[in-house]
Amino acid sequence: MPYDAVTAAREAAARFISDGRFFHAYIVSGSDAAGREAAARYLAKAAVCSGAEPPCSRCRDCVKAEKGIHPDIAFVEREKDEKELRVDAVRTLRRSAAVIPNEAERGVWIIRDADAMNAQAQNAMLKLLEEPPRYAVFILLAGNPELLLPTVRSRCEELRLRPVREGENPGAEKLAALFEAGDRMGLLRELTSLEKSDRAELTELMESLRRLAVSRLRAGAEPGKMALLAGAAGQAEKYLDANVSSGYVTGFLLAQMTGQETKIPPQGGDSREIH
């Protein structure tokens, strides 16, 4: 199956909620419209899921969410042929959010083209974000999140999606080859050279390495090795998301790929960019 923006968006959303917590408001930005929509629907399904590990994709709530018929997932969008999302739509949203969910523990409202809200609509949305109902989850889709008021953005967790590039990262191919060959010195040299890498570039490398490992696993490569590689690369992505430094992340990956033990120290930071 080709790796496209929709697949990437769902994976990004899954990593974003891997700790099982839900915030009252999200901004899903970047990528293309299909990717933003896919990420939003994944978050919504997870929010209404009644299984043990959301989204379980098996419970009644997940099934309804996938079919687009869950009564506690609603969409807000512009009127046809309108360039702006007007305040009346947000006022309707506020009235809807005042009603407790019908079936799930949470109610989810997905605001399409949230960056098209005019100033009046954004101010009305801000009031809702400042005092949200305890059961409500708002997901704002924005191709250009910079058009949203800083006060609106500050009250949301932002899931920023990157465009999916064609082809594999050559660095990922090299790391996978060294790992499969059991070349510890080669891995040491390669990963040491990445210690000062730009965080965005390193995240892209880890994403590509994880995809490559999963692809080879499906193709029949040694299961233990490829599962370990995919897990290590995925964990490295999470560390980068948590603002752990590139040097610590490459050290972690080296330890995982050579069978050593390592501990990642906590790192501070506000960024929640997920790729």
Residues 144-201: pLDDT tens digits? 999 999 999 999 999 888 765 555 577 888 898 889 888 899 899 999 998 888 887 8
CB atoms near residue 66 (< 10 Å): 14
3-class secondary structure, 73: strand
The residue among 135 and 8 whose pLDDT is bigger is 135
Structure tokens that stand for 31 in this block:
């990528």
Strand partners, 160: 29
pLDDT of residue 164: 58
- Section 134-142 average pLDDT: 96
Burial class (CB in 10 A: 0-12, 13-18, 19+), 55: buried
CA dist 264 and 117 (Å) reads 42
pLDDT of residue 18: 63
pLDDT of residue 274: 36
The number of C-alpha atoms within 13 Å of 36 and in the hemisphere containing its C-beta is 23
The residue among 272 and 169 whose pLDDT is bigger is 169
- Section 20-30 average pLDDT: 87
Strand partners, 35: none
- Section 97-101 average pLDDT: 95
CA dist 27 and 115 (Å) reads 10
Q: Where are the alpha helices (DSSP H) in the chain?
A: 5-16, 33-48, 60-67, 87-97, 119-130, 150-153, 170-181, 184-192, 199-218, 223-241, 246-258
The confidence band for 243, taking pLDDT boundaries of 50, 70 and 90, is confident
- Section 82-89 average pLDDT: 93
pLDDT of residue 112: 94
The number of C-alpha atoms within 13 Å of 165 and in the hemisphere containing its C-beta is 11
What phi-psi label fits residue 39: left (phi over 0), alpha (psi between -120 and 50 degrees) or beta?
alpha
pLDDT of residue 272: 38
The number of C-alpha atoms within 13 Å of 125 and in the hemisphere containing its C-beta is 35
Q: Is the pLDDT confidence value at 1 over 50?
A: no
Q: Is the pLDDT confidence value at 271 over 50?
A: no
Phi and psi at 142, nearest 5°, equal -145, 115
Burial 120-146 (b: 16+ CB within 10 A, else e): ebbebbbebbeebbebbbbbbbbbebe
The confidence band for 275, taking pLDDT boundaries of 50, 70 and 90, is very low
pLDDT of residue 167: 53
Order of strands across the sheet with 136-142?
A: 73-76, 107-111, 136-142, 25-30, 157-161
The residue among 7 and 106 whose pLDDT is bigger is 106
Q: Is the pLDDT confidence value at 50 over 70?
A: yes
Q: Is the pLDDT confidence value at 2 over 70?
A: no
3-class secondary structure, 98: coil
- Section 261-268 average pLDDT: 50
Percent of the chain with pLDDT over 90: 52
Distance set, CA 194 to CA 35, 94, 197 (Å): 29, 48, 5
Residue type, 250: T
pLDDT of residue 5: 63
